[in-house]
Structure 1
Amino acid sequence: MSSLSLHIADGIARVILNRPERHNAFDARLIDDLEDTFTLLGRDTNVRVIVLTHAGVNFCAGADLEWMAASAAKPKTENREDALKMARMFAAINACPKPVIGLVRGKAIGGGVGLVACCDIVIAAPDASFALSEVRLGLIPAVISPFVVAKIGPSQTRRYMISAEAFDAITAVSIGLIHEVCADGEATLTTLIATLLRNAPKAMAEVKTLLADVAGKAIDDDLLSVCADRIAARRASFEGMEGVAAFLGKRKADWVPND
């Protein structure tokens, strides 16, 4: 059985974590499959939106402890390389130029929360729960820490990484980890995808890089200059000119699907 399932139709790629018997925990194969899949989808001009979801009851239990124990028994350099591969997998999802929507049910633990943090928009079922529980195993959530801090900020990250307490979907919304709690996630997903398909693909990709570049920076002349350069270039781009012309001409831009 593959560790991932991938379905692409009408510009929508659905990436499905497919180790339900292990609560979709990461092992070496799943880590490689996720990095490769998101890298390829990011380059595929026919893909407009990516949905990350899962088979089985739980979204993701983090690192497979048997795989982690095997890594710990390796020589130091190989152990570190396994950790670096996992970090690169999260980075590939986080930096993917396509909008990434997380559709979450059940538990997201440890690295599962890292996956959620790397998604641009997250829809969770009412039964979803989250925990950064590494310290209970004598471990630390090191490779996911940059992505979690970027998503929920240092204060909430401190609390949940140190306490290891579980929290529900409503709390996850309140701290910014997820965006909606829906009993019918598929219906909400359909509406959201239709909204995203109205947006210029390259503009959405540039928003992601823009936010990464400005986050945490002092608002000074250098930053203002960077932002001015970005909007000036976008105004003169094909998408920028086409979008404005379509609006003024009261027609659909060329990237908007026909109804």
Structure 2
Amino acid sequence: MTFATIRFAVDQRGVARVTLARPNKHNALSAAMIAEMTDVAGRLATDASVRAVILDAEGKSFCAGADLEWMREQFSADRATRISEATRLAMMLKALNGLPKPLIARVHGNAFGGGVGLISVCDTVICASGAQFGLTETRLGLIPATISPYVIARTGEAKARPLFMSARVFGAEEAKVAGFVTTIVDDSMLDGAVEAAVTAYLVAAPGAAGRAKRLARSLGLPITDAVISDTIEQLADVWETDEAREGVSSFFERRNPSWRR
């Protein structure tokens, strides 16, 4: 199975590996990558031979968030187009969150914006000690809307609020305290820790593991279609503000926005 922006393989144990493969773009989420990730999530969900899934990335970063070209297109798009594009990302996250298999993230480098969203839909997150995280949208006058249901489900409202508002970059230890990260290891131990996490899942009956995940989700924060739709509408509203126009313009013009002195 060949994709343009990701790599996909399944080993003899039934462990699938999905690798973000845009290293020259720091694995930023483009429209093509979102479509391919949604496709592979659907395939994995219905493949009874797959027991567990590893999500990792090539290059220096896990995922830098939104692709810059996608950002340019959203800047000049109309409301309907912005809603349509945000919905594509939302459906990708929904598909991964509902995957009836253990999903283990191997995280290194930077994970910003949508990259934090990807981490938030994983069941176990193994992180290199030097990894950095950030919900940086408010720097651009935007909000982390589409990923927000999964981030809140992961961290709880109290821990998410300061991270949502400040756009501050934070390290692995703080990410663990917030609930994003399960285990922190030195870079040299990352693969071994991921393998240990996979091995632990493989002792569970596959059907029972999937049902247990669904049970846990049913008892947590409900992420309904109405919730997803509301977050997308809120993002569309923000895109139309003067702050968003100033923030995104300043980013591409490589200058500070008006609110930064």
Q: Which runs of 5+ in 1 are unaligned?
A: 218-259
By relative contact order (CA 8 Å, sep 6+), the higher-ranking structure is 2
Give the TM-score taking structure 1 as reference length: 0.81
Deviation of 1:198 after TM superposition, in Å, equals 0.6
- Name the CA distance, whole Å, in 2 between partners of 1:211 and 1:112: 23
Match of residue 221 from structure 1 = none
Select the residue among 190, 195, 219 that pairs with 2:195.
190
Residues 24-50 of structure 1: per-residue CA shift (max 9 Å, x gap): 001110000111111111111111000
SS in structure 2 of the partner of residue 6 of structure 1: strand
Deviation of 1:216 after TM superposition, in Å, equals 4.8
Counterpart mapping for 1:164-243 below 5 A: 164-183=167-186, 184-216=189-221
Deviation of 1:17 after TM superposition, in Å, equals 0.2
Which letter maps to 1:214? L
Deviation of 1:103 after TM superposition, in Å, equals 0.1
Which letter maps to 2:190? G
Select the residue among 140, 143, 147 that pairs with 2:146.
143
RMSD over aligned Cα atoms: 1.3
Match of residue 163 from structure 1 = 166
Q: Which runs of 5+ in 2 are unaligned?
A: 223-261
Query: Contact conserved, 2:153 with 2:221, CA < 8 A, in 1?
Result: no
- Name the CA distance, whole Å, in 2 between partners of 1:212 and 1:188: 25
Query: Contact conserved, 2:19 with 2:57, CA < 8 A, in 1?
Result: yes
SS in structure 1 of the partner of residue 156 of structure 2: helix
Between Structure 1 and Structure 2, whose CA radius of gyration is higher? 1
- Name the CA distance, whole Å, in 2 between partners of 1:96 and 1:196: 14
Give the TM-score taking structure 2 as reference length: 0.81
Select the residue among 127, 141, 147 that pairs with 2:130.
127
Match of residue 4 from structure 2 = 2
4+ residue stretches of structure 1 with deviation over 3 A?
A: none
Deviation of 1:65 after TM superposition, in Å, equals 2.4
Select the residue among 64, 80, 101 that pairs with 2:104.
101
